A = this chain, B = another copy of it.
Amino acid sequence: MDLSPVIRKKISDSFAAQSMMKTMAVEIVNMDKGLVTLASPILTGCRQQQGFGHAALTFALGDTAAGYAALTVMPEDMEVLTAEIKVNLLAPATGDRLRAEGRVIKPGRRLVVVQSDVYAQSANGEKHIAMLTGTMVPVATG
């Protein structure tokens, strides 16, 4: 479903203000109502001890995609905070790039339940490397 220009801009501005996203070279791929997709390269500075993508990179993509998915179903004057999120790591983050799809499982005035799936992309295609489920909380903007 189409997203209002106000919410698109709110997400873009918020995303641009997160220096962690720049450090990890994450970008927004797509925004729809209840569904936000992010992607990033696996930078040489974001790796674990075996040279694969670090779980913190996977987490950053999954948590951020889920948070902004939640923001798409909240009133326009709200911000979103992660209350909790669990990640199940399914496979190492091999390959060149990561892609995260965050979506809303259950919207709500007080809590929004979300899920993200993270995929590693290589010449061989995509591999499902992580599933995250979490709870996002709307908070009034400053």
State the Cβ distance, A67 to closest chain B Cβ, in Å: 9
A60 x B49 contact (CB < 8 A):
no
Max chain B CB contacts within 10 Å: which of A44, A49, A56, A88? A56
The answer, yes or no, to whether A83 is at the interface (CB within 8 Å) is: yes
The answer, yes or no, to whether A98 is at the interface (CB within 8 Å) is: no
The answer, yes or no, to whether A124 is at the interface (CB within 8 Å) is: no
Question: How many of these chains are in the complex?
Answer: 4
State the Cβ distance, A24 to closest chain B Cβ, in Å: 8
Complex Cα–Cα for A115 and B131 (A): 10
Max chain B CB contacts within 10 Å: which of A19, A24, A91? A19
Main secondary structure of the interface of A (DSSP, over half): mixed
Interface 0/1 of A106-118, CB less than 8 Å to B: 1000110101000
B88 x A135 contact (CB < 8 A):
yes
Within 67-112 of A, Cβ neighbours of B (below 8 Å) are at: 81-91, 105-106, 110-111
* A135 surroundings in chain B (CB, below 8 A): 83-84, 88, 135
Interface residues of A (CB under 8 A from B): 14-15, 17-20, 22-24, 44-50, 54-57, 59-60, 63, 81-91, 105-106, 110-111, 113, 115, 128, 131, 133, 135, 137, 142
